[in-house]
Structure 1
Amino acid sequence: MEKTGFFSNLKSDFPASIVVFFVALPLCLGIALASGAPLFSGLIAGIIGGIVVGALSGSKIGVSGPAAGLAAIVFTSIGTLGGFENFLVAVVLGGIIQLIFGLLRAGVIGYYFPSSVIKGMLTGIGIIIILKQIPHFVGYDADPEGDFAFLQVDGQNTFSEIFTSLDFIQPGSALIGLIGLAILLLWENVLAKKAKIFQIIQGPLVAVIVGIVFFAVMGSNNSLSISSTHLVSVPVPDDFSSFLSQFRFPNFAAIANTEVWVVGFTIALVASLETLLCVEATDKLDPHKNVTPTNRELLAQGTGNIISGLIGGLPITQVIVRSSANIQSGGRTKMSAIIHGLFLLISVILIPNLLNMIPLSVLAAILLVVGFKLAKPGLFKSMYQLGWKQFVPFIVTVVGIIFTDLLVGIGLGLLVGIIVILFKSYQNSHFLHKEGEDVDDGKVKMTLAEEVTFFNKGAILNELDRLPHDSALELDVTNTKYLDNDIIEILDDFIHKAEERNISIKLISERGVVVNPESFFKFFNDKRKAS
């Protein structure tokens, strides 16, 4: 039985928070860099996302922070709004609008995305993580850590960046990356099963410590030395006052600018959608099958964005990379998210110089493992076995995310999912067959489905028009609970056409058999009103 106390699962949450911290740290910095914002703004968003949103959220395993999906919007908006301080006003407004979404109970939107699209989203993100971390893994760090877009500002794309990185392999970074990956795999697959100490002390922490030691031992005059460009780069203040000076504050004089309101609404809409999709995805990943209250999540995210904007942080969403790392590391309650935020806060104040000794290739190794767990090859096989109606939206979502970005890929998958639903609705609105396979006596039976809507209009109309002259139609609506008015009109029109084509009609319903065509229309109208 799961323990319910605030600190009762600390033995699971604390190790998970360490892993999430190491995953979140470079992403906070990288997303800020990709957004054209001060690096410290990414850390602020990570801290607020962990501590504030983590405390207010109803999610036990979701982790929030700056989102890669908003990087392009942030980058453009800072320029169009005339500076970062003006942009912060839009972040605050976005948070207020999210609060309104939560109060209006808009969180239900996330439940309307098909499972195949959500699974495709997780798989696509897993593949993107792997592809994006390969250059960092070998010591080629030209593209920011948090840039998950296919097309990059340097003219490269995800795949060309990988091929280019093979020409710029840094031996030291690549070696410690391989050592870190070996530690992670050995720890999880062998050591963690042999002794409890290896479950308490997490493999990622050991890999990071080994990476710091490797950097220190190799120094700067060695073929295996790691240059500063391949290390974590946390801003280092000279004293506490210089630390405080890194905070930026919104210029509320810009609130009269309509563009600020447009950007604020855009942030609220995109951040809310990303959050709700992530909530749906993390709930599916959660082995304990907790259900996150979505409206409360919007309220938590809105509060987080207001505070983040007020002190100079980037927009916040719940993030699948951090959340999945939390789940895979055994996180059980919201304490893991809160503690990871505290780690970010304490580390940037007390040990920024130590953090700046962590090789990016070691952190890339951690993310490679996270990515593989999200995109296991067996999932493709299981989705294929479920049939094309599940597999096609799944694979379209995966490919869309890889070759465009997160929201576009999800949109494509959702569009295909809707088309599949419409196609199956078109097919399943009725069943049409002749009475007896070998007897051509002109008798035709049509059985309508439980719910028949305007989506089925074309299919039914087509079948009715194909009925031959001098035939007999038996229309069975016994199990039909809902008939759309469009369908009633089609059937009413067909009654008159049937007379001209000498087609007799017999209606079978829960009321019995009706053979009088004039009573058909009244019957269907009564059926619709009863529905």
Structure 2
Amino acid sequence: MFKTIKNDLPASIVVFFVALPLCLGIALASGAPLFSGLISGIIGGVVVGALSGSKIGVSGPAAGLAAIVLVSINSLGYEKFLVAVVIGGIIQILFGALRLGIIGYYFPSSVIKGMLTGIGIIIILKEIPYFFGMDKNPQGDFAFLQLDGENTISGLLNAINALLSGNISIGSTFIALVAIGILILWSNVLSKKGRIFQLVQGPLVAVLIGIIFYILTKDGTFNIIKDNLVSVPVPENFNSFLGQFSFPNFEAIGNSEVWVTGFTIALVASLETLLCVEATDKLDPHKNVTPTNRELFAQGTGNILSGLIGGLPITQVIVRSSANIQSGGVSKLSAIMHGFFLLISVILIPKLLNMIPLSVLAAVLFIVGYKLAKPSTFKKMFSLGWKQWIPFMVTVLGIVFIDLLWGIGLGLVVGIVVILIKSYQNSHFLHIEDKSNGKHKIKMTLAEEVTFFNKGAILKELDSLPIDTDLELDVRKTRYLDNDIIEILDDFALKAKERNIDIHLVSERGTVENPSSFIEFFKLRPKTA
């Protein structure tokens, strides 16, 4: 794992700066103590990062659970709520033992891509007001209807009106523009000029310049007020630091509401984690596949520990994970180190952290959001046809105008309806014939119709193929092949080279030896009756 530290260390620093305001903001949005968000961020990095089978996924407090947590704390009180978090963690471990991690494979690719794009748009829309130093809504409140009484659109319009009328924080806006310039220059120019610019990441430079700017201008025209800075709790001494931890009141273990809350946390956190795992694996340039049942075990263990010492519920989080991937993270070391950075910084340098302008961190998140929601993504999804485009757009709009879980749910419903309209039931979607004689020779015949419902089974069969295999993949009878399956085959083509698996693709046009791109092959394949 330490062989990749040259990639993981810079990435972990970027993830740290992304995670810090979100940990605090989600705690505030959840009606919990600020320190609870940092606890769950630390455990999500160090504990879950170590136990997880994901190489590039990063866990922490999740915005998708904020509404549930807020209602539960108001109803139960914080100490009883922590009991529910512990129970939720135990249930997640049971989910893993029951091998329920496969659920994530039954969400269409169009919905997963819609989730990534929708989150990217939400990040951009939510961070723009911080550019101008005027948003009172806590970072991490990603719902359309905000805690400050505004909604996403009205908050954005207020920011634009403030900009036009000149009622903005000049210092916040100036340093945000400088930070954006640094990030773009670093990414597009300097990172290609020398190794030092690859080791020292642009976000770190932007944050350091932001701190220096705050110190130099705090008594002048460009001063940035306290509300527009990071706000980490600052303990007066070691005893006051320990006093920030809360502990569950296990006398409430017999309370039925506690158990209902615990099961709700386990169900929602598991679903959000599995969806983020699927999305993160799609973003991963190395196409690693995360063992989902092990992920549920890791998340459950993290939630048990988080609940025991006063933290919020934990899930894998796409914002942190995508920042990790975009910054060059390669192994789980990046997630673990970001957790240690959170721990060390809140103990040793909380006052320095409180000099970081929120507008600088907004600039970092703005870049993350743009990379998730590039215009080219919309163009690509549209080119795939209406069966991909409609579920994709429903998911995006649902996330932007309602919230994450509603958007995914609506996208899934539409995706299922589209599939049912265009397909028919076929129980024999896959046939495998072992013709081994010395070297492994396996024939895999795809049926007339293969949809995303079959994704988990096909992925399992492909991953179980032994090394040094001749695989004959027969698609002559196949009349409908879902885009999700094509993507699985395309990813498998990369893995096959590493495992010395020769692929003979048999179609109505003849046999293709070791096709380099299944996506291109099926795109050019003539339609049959």
TM value normalised by structure 2: 0.80
Of the two, which has the highest radius of gyration? 1
Alignment of 1:227-242 (within 5 A): 227-242=225-240
2: CA distance, partners of 1:163 / 1:387? 34
2: CA distance, partners of 1:208 / 1:389? 43
Match of 1:118 in 2: 112
Displacement, 1:451?
Answer: 7.0
Q: Does the 8 Å CA contact 2:135/2:155 hold for their aligned counterparts?
A: no
Match of 2:209 in 1: 210
2: CA distance, partners of 1:153 / 1:200? 39
Match of 1:298 in 2: 296
Distance of aligned partners of 1:451 and 1:192 in 2 relative to their CA distance in 1, 3 Å threshold: closer
Match of 1:147 in 2: 141
Q: Does the 8 Å CA contact 1:124/1:399 hold for their aligned counterparts?
A: yes
1: CA distance, partners of 2:448 / 2:269? 38
Displacement, 1:153?
Answer: 2.5
Task: Tell me, yes or no, if structure 1 residue 100 matches structure 2 residue 94.
Answer: yes
Alignment of 1:370-519 (within 5 A): 370-425=368-423, 450=448
Displacement, 1:88?
Answer: 0.2
Alignment of 1:158-237 (within 5 A): 158-166=152-160, 167=162, 168-220=167-219, 222-237=220-235
Task: Tell me, yes or no, if structure 1 residue 73 matches structure 2 residue 68.
Answer: yes
| Deviations 1:414-471, CA, capped at 9 Å, x for gaps | 0000000110025999xxxxxxxxxxxxxxxxxxx9579xxxxxxxxxxxxxxxxxxx
- What root-mean-square deviation, in Å, do the aligned CA atoms of Structure 1 and Structure 2 show? 1.8
Q: Does the 8 Å CA contact 1:141/1:229 hold for their aligned counterparts?
A: no
| Deviations 1:98-134, CA, capped at 9 Å, x for gaps | 0000000000000000000000000000000000000
Task: Tell me, yes or no, if structure 1 residue 19 matches structure 2 residue 14.
Answer: yes
Displacement, 1:373?
Answer: 0.3
Q: Does the 8 Å CA contact 1:54/1:334 hold for their aligned counterparts?
A: yes
Aligned AA (1:176)? I
Match of 1:59 in 2: 54
Aligned AA (1:347)? S
Match of 2:336 among 335, 338, 341: 338
Q: Does the 8 Å CA contact 1:60/1:334 hold for their aligned counterparts?
A: yes
TM value normalised by structure 1: 0.79
Displacement, 1:80?
Answer: 1.1
2: CA distance, partners of 1:451 / 1:346? 54
Displacement, 1:155?
Answer: 2.4
What secondary structure does 1:413 align onto?
Answer: helix
Match of 1:523 in 2: none
| Deviations 1:303-352, CA, capped at 9 Å, x for gaps | 00000000000000000000000000000000000000000000000000
2: CA distance, partners of 1:264 / 1:84? 13
2: CA distance, partners of 1:179 / 1:428? 57
2: CA distance, partners of 1:381 / 1:392? 13
Task: Tell me, yes or no, if structure 1 residue 359 matches structure 2 residue 353.
Answer: no
4+ aligned runs moved over 2 Å, structure 1: 426-429, 449-452
Q: Does the 8 Å CA contact 2:141/2:147 hold for their aligned counterparts?
A: no
2: CA distance, partners of 1:319 / 1:451? 34
Match of 1:441 in 2: none
1: CA distance, partners of 2:31 / 2:207? 28
What secondary structure does 1:154 align onto?
Answer: coil
1: CA distance, partners of 2:448 / 2:206? 58
Displacement, 1:194?
Answer: 1.0
Q: Does the 8 Å CA contact 2:114/2:392 hold for their aligned counterparts?
A: yes
* Identical columns (%): 75
1: CA distance, partners of 2:46 / 2:352? 23
Distance of aligned partners of 1:253 and 1:175 in 2 relative to their CA distance in 1, 3 Å threshold: same
Q: Does the 8 Å CA contact 1:24/1:322 hold for their aligned counterparts?
A: yes
Q: Does the 8 Å CA contact 2:124/2:365 hold for their aligned counterparts?
A: yes
Aligned AA (2:72)? S
1: CA distance, partners of 2:153 / 2:194? 41
1: CA distance, partners of 2:348 / 2:205? 20
Q: Which 5+ residue runs of structure 1 have no aligned equivalent?
A: 1-5, 430-448, 453-478, 481-531
Displacement, 1:141?
Answer: 2.6
1: CA distance, partners of 2:282 / 2:251? 44
Match of 2:316 in 1: 318
Match of 1:278 in 2: 276
Aligned AA (1:211)? G
Moved more, 152-161 or 9-18: 152-161
2: CA distance, partners of 1:90 / 1:140? 36
Task: Tell me, yes or no, if structure 1 residue 89 matches structure 2 residue 113.
Answer: no
Distance of aligned partners of 1:131 and 1:152 in 2 relative to their CA distance in 1, 3 Å threshold: same
2: CA distance, partners of 1:337 / 1:84? 28
Q: Does the 8 Å CA contact 1:32/1:41 hold for their aligned counterparts?
A: yes
Q: Does the 8 Å CA contact 2:107/2:412 hold for their aligned counterparts?
A: yes
Q: Does the 8 Å CA contact 1:57/1:300 hold for their aligned counterparts?
A: yes
Task: Tell me, yes or no, if structure 1 residue 45 matches structure 2 residue 44.
Answer: no
What secondary structure does 1:21 align onto?
Answer: helix
What secondary structure does 2:3 align onto?
Answer: coil
Alignment length, in residue pairs? 430
Displacement, 1:165?
Answer: 2.2
